[in-house]
Structure 1
Amino acid sequence: MGVHIFDTPYNALQLDVPTTITTECRPSNGFSYPENNVVTYEFPSTPYTSQSFKWIWYDGPGVPGLHEDLVLPGAKKTVDTKPKKEESIADKMSLDAKVAGEGELPEQGAMFVGEKGRLLLPHFMQLPKKIVKGKYVDISKEIAKVSVANNMGEPIRNYDTEGPKHYHQFVDACLGKATTTAPFDYGARLTETILLGTIAGRFPGETLHWDAEAARFKEEKANQYLSGDYRDF
């Protein structure tokens, strides 16, 4: 899910690849990836960020806990540590289960933390929420304007029955008729960013320095994971 959750903030802030990456997780066991990860990326500044811009990724059970930047209005002041009732697959996959309750972070999403407030972007089933001085601010008009702008002033498209489909975009791009929503020059940088975090998981607690121009880490031991041996067909 990394590319999907990263995509909107990465695009909106016009980020490039990071300069440093640090991952907090259990030591690598050479068999499977850690269940919990906290990955801190440092990016070159853009017109939309601070001079030293950090992006922190959390995944796995129990994260991010009660991190002060992520506490929502109406949130509980303590973390509920009681075991949750086991849910059926149908319950877990239901749309109702995807909607966060009052004061709860969504299962997946992103949070912009700015100088004057915060913007929560749930990844599924909920609209963005603006938080200023610990209170929600109504942004329904702004959301409506963005929806119209994104659709070139036309009525909101029903994506279930109307295009564009990803494979239509790909064929049109191959024919030189149009560009895709996520062309290779953008998708490659986004994917590179996420995979650098995966490599950093091999070295918990260590900061890796990435040279984008050379496509190598300053830490030579990490460069072995930049390529692999592939089967011949």
Structure 2
Amino acid sequence: MKLSLGNIKVVITKMVKYLFYKISFILIMLLCASAFGANNKKLTKEDIIQQLLPKTPQQMKQSGYGKAPINIALCKYWGKRNKELNLPQTSSISIALPYYTTTTISIAQDKDRIFLNGKEVSLDSEFGRRTIDFLNLIRQNKNIFLKIETNNDLPTSAGLASSASGFAAFVIALNDIFNWNLTNEKLSILARMGSGSAARSIPPGFVYWQAGKKADGTDSYATEMYWHLPPQHNF
């Protein structure tokens, strides 16, 4: 069959249209798959911490200091909706006690060093490993080593890494030495990365830790509760 020039043009036009629609369909499917994958990405502590900390490293101080109260839950949260980010299923209420953890951080020479209640702790111990693991999550310069000195008003059972007030004081001291200037809300979220209850040791007094609804937990932090008492009357 002999094809005319007009027939050839029609065939080419149909082929171009077919290829255009086919390629467009493939691109749309790839974009949808990419968007679906991004929305279902499992968030990690590193992802959240990168959102919290300043993008540009600030001028580091020679030392930093943090102080945080021990808290006792009056209304507990019931389980976690995200164990990686320590996100609670329900909101909770606590009270800060007049007992504290204080932490001082200074620059060390060639390795990290940790002291608990005046005694140096091995970096290979559970306490040492968990403390350094948390430090490595936020340390923007891996060539900077720190000396961490923490003291508890009450007897320590498992150390800084398992203490709400310990993690809170640690985060406050890190905020001080690294000059992050984070708000209390962001400090509460950052402390939660180490220990869920640590979020409640940032504010003083009666504290409300809201569970939040966002997947990244940026709406899950603790704030101080302000009680409005009725006026007193003299009879």
Judging by fraction of residues, say which structure has more strand: 2
Structure (1 or 2) with the larger CA radius of gyration: 2
TM-score norm. by structure 2 comes to: 0.22
Judging by fraction of residues, say which structure has more helix: 2
